Chain A
Amino acid sequence: MTAWDVFLQQVINGVSLGAMYSLLALGFTMVYGIIELINFAHFNVFMMGSFFALWALQAMGFVGQSHILYGLPLAGVLLLALLATMLGSGVLGVAIERFTLRPLRGVRGTAPMITTIGLSFILYNIILLGAGADSKNYANPLPNTAWMISGGATLRLREVLLWVVSLLLMLGLHYFVRFTKMGKAMQATAQDQEAARMVGIDVDKVVVITFFLGSALAGAAGLIFGLYYNYTSYIIGYQAGLRAFTAAVLGGIGNIPGAMLGGVIIGLIESLGGQYIAVRWTDVIIFSLLVLVLVFRPTGLIGRAAPTRS
């Protein structure tokens, strides 16, 4: 492979990773936009989502990558798995909001954030204790079809599929937020919660729906992770979380298009950084980027109001 091929391959990888991080960052940034809460538990909802999807696929009879499907059956199976995880994760997110975060609404300071740290621990330890620390081989019906492009780099079917699914989900969310009544209510609540109440918006309901949608997207990202890497484990939330978080901050926390852009950038940094610098330094690079953005440009690349009010 020529140097150009290597580069192109890493770009492809980066975009795939980026799609996943975008979905994760989206849900996270939506919640922050509405209730100004940094929800650590979000990334373990993602992890749980990937398990929900795994169990759904296993329930449909798939074990590992032995059973391959094509065409319509493939689409059907994937759709079912997607629905299972989005529903499961969405409900999980709503439960978290309802029972642990709503009682703390209005409490000053970092108590809500500390609670999400606790929830995060609870979630991944449930999986760790229940399912074990080993990586689970993912039930994956995707074929290994790939195309050669530009001589050396390959583009796999699964990548195209994942890009398409992510894009559809993001467009769906965008459409929902921009054009539906509930979506406008979400925008209004994010811009001014009191004013939203004053035009008759049920803010509690808006929060619940935001959590549901955000968590559902996280679940979808979980399925994508499993299909892409062929494994899942209790620790993936923790690892992906940092990257998705940085993506959200990079794009401007609370900003939906920003989260999408940020996700792709982080994905590219991870793949290109891993290739040209070293994999073991990727974490440091991304964390340093996070710190730099927060210190020097807290509004993010396209963000809105700066997070420096006391």
Chain B
Amino acid sequence: MHTSVEQQTLLQRRPPLLEFKGVNTYYGELHVLKGVDYRVGQGEIVCLLGGNACGKSTTMKTILGIVTPKSGEVVYAGETINKLATADRVKRGIAPVPEARRLFPRMTVLENLEMGAFTRNDTAEIEADKERVFGLFPRIKERLKQVAGTLSGGEQQMVAMGRALMARPKLLCMDEPSMGLAPSVVEQVFDIIQEINRQGTSIFMVEQNANMALSIADYGYVLQTGVVVLEGSAQSLRDNEMVQQAYLGEMKAQ
């Protein structure tokens, strides 16, 4: 299944920051994730592709600790974190940018950002990170006093990302960052994601927009009804016929 080029790429992958080893999760009797293995190397952008109801959100929830696997291990920075509470995972450096943003609707943009740093005590560094966020998202700086519930979709996405960055995470987990956004905004957002990665944060991203995701990712997994059916470097996935057919819209040879 993998070409020799990919085997080389595999060997060249960075040491793992996050790993799923044979993870099985259930919703009551429903077997959602069926023995999945993922690996996010330090400094990588890894994307998880798949259609609706394939287990993508459950993967995200498992990383965050909202769902506990029935078997298998979730390993972060060498530590098995299956039983660790969400708050503790955030303290260890995993920050989520949830689907549908989930800002605190009645707090201002500034207050939302400050909530992102909830687990931290280093005031000076927090201020530095605030400046960093303003640098990445200049639009946010203009709207600090605005109540979060009144922002547009794209602005909310940026605040959500900013809020996650305020935790100074090692791993940023993004759930469908392109959802509901206009194409131009999506491009901006993905540019920023790349910049964040360049500044040193590893990124794990769940996306339906395979094209955008693969254009910035290093590695990708394709999930279907709870099983990883395909994985490889982003380039190999882009070239892969199955992926093109399923997600890139039959552009070839029509």
A200 at the interface (CB under 8 A from B): yes
Given contacts A200-B86, A203-B87, 10 further A-B contacts (CB under 8 A): A181-B118, A192-B104, A192-B105, A195-B102, A198-B90, A198-B102, A199-B116, A200-B118, A200-B119, A202-B85
| Residues of the B chain whose Cβ atoms lie less than 8 Å from the Cβ of A197 | 64, 66, 86-87
Report yes or no: A187 in contact with B104, Cβ–Cβ below 8 A.
yes
Q: Are the CB atoms of B107 and A200 closer together than 8 Å?
A: no
Q: Which of A181, A192, A304 contacts B102 (CB 8 A)?
A: A192
Residue B103 interfacial (CB < 8 Å):
yes
Chain B residues with Cβ below 8 Å from A188 are 104, 107, 115
The residue that A195 contacts in the complex, of B104, B111, B119, B167, with Cβ under 8 A, is: B104
For the complex, give the distance between the alpha carbons of A203 and B64 in Å. 14
Min CB distance A129 to B, Å, is: 41
Q: Which bucket holds chain A's interface residue count?
A: 10 to 19
Chain B interface residue bracket vs A: 20 to 34
Q: What CA separation (Å) do A196 and B103 show in the bound complex?
A: 9
> What does the 1/0 interface line of B103-138 toward A look like (CB < 8 Å)?
111110001001110110000000000000000000
Task: From known contacts A184-B115, A185-B118, A188-B115, infer whether A199 and B90 are also in contact, taking CB-CB under 8 Å.
Answer: yes
- Asked whether, in the complex, the Cβ of A191 is within 8 Å of the Cβ of B118, the reply is no
A194 interface residue (CB < 8 Å to B)? yes
A198's partner among B91, B98, B106, B111 (CB-CB below 8 A) is: B98
Q: How far is the CA of A40 from the CA of B85 in the complex (A)?
A: 31
Residue numbers of A with Cβ under 8 A of B are 181, 184-185, 187-188, 191-192, 194-203, 304
| CB–CB B87/A201 < 8 A | yes
Q: State whether A191 and B85 are in contact (beta carbons under 8 Å apart), knowing that A181-B118, A199-B167, A200-B91 are contacts in the complex.
A: no
Main secondary structure of the interface of A (DSSP, over half): helix
CB of A194 within 8 A of CB of B102, answer yes
For A195, what are the chain B residues with a Cβ–Cβ distance below 8 Å?
98, 102-104
Chain B residues engaging chain A, CB cutoff 8 angstroms: 64, 66, 85-87, 90-91, 95-96, 98, 102-107, 111, 114-116, 118-119, 163, 167
A185 to B116, CA, bound (A): 11
User: Which of B86, B105, B163 has most chain A Cβ within 10 Å?
Assistant: B86
Going nearest first, the 9 A-B pairs with the smallest beta carbon separation are A200-B90, A200-B119, A195-B102, A197-B86, A191-B104, A200-B87, A202-B87, A198-B96, A199-B118
In the assembly, what is the distance between CA of A305 and CA of B119, in Å? 29
Q: Would you give the shortest CB distance from A204 to chain B, in whole angstroms?
A: 9
Shortest Cβ gap from A186 to chain B (Å): 12
Q: A191 near B107 (CB under 8 angstroms)?
A: yes
> Which B-chain residue is minimally distant from A203 (CB atoms)?
B87
Let me know if A200 and B167 touch, CB within 8 A. Answer: yes
Return chain B residues, CB-CB under 8 Å to A181. 118
Q: Is the CB of A187 within 8 A of B85?
A: no
Report how far A207 CA is from B45 CA in the complex, Å.
36
